[in-house]
């Protein structure tokens, strides 16, 4: 459960920093749920998510090696 909360927190952080979206929660209002976003902002968000995935994989493999 903590992993899911950490992931949601990371995704919200990326959305705020790169896409200028305050929340990823559904607001049930078109003007709050749909956003015009520049392609360079999307690219930045994807790069940040990719880097976070690489970092998570490094941390997981380091942790796994220590348990063997």
Number of domains in the chain: 1
CA atoms within 13 A on the CB side of 7: 7
What is the reported pTM?
0.80
Cβ atoms of 49 and 14 within 8 Å: the answer is: yes
Neighbours of 24 (CB within 10 A): 13
In which domain, by residue range, is 54 found?
Answer: 2-67
Neighbours of 67 (CB within 10 A): 5
Name the residue among 24, 5, 10, 25 with its Cα closest to residue 55: 10
Give me the mean pLDDT over the 43-68 stretch: 85
Q: What is the pLDDT of residues 36-45, one digit of tens each?
A: 999 999 999 9
- What secondary structure letter does DSSP report for 53? H
């Amino acid at each position: 459960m903590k992993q899911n909360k950490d992931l949601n927190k990371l995704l919200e952080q990326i959305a705020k920093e790169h896409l200028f979206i305050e929340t990823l929660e559904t607001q049930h209002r078109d003007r709050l749920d749909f956003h015009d976003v520049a392609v360079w902002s999307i690219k930045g968000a994807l790069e940040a998510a990719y880097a976070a995935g690489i970092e998570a994989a490094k941390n997981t493999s380091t942790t796994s090696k220590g348990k063997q």
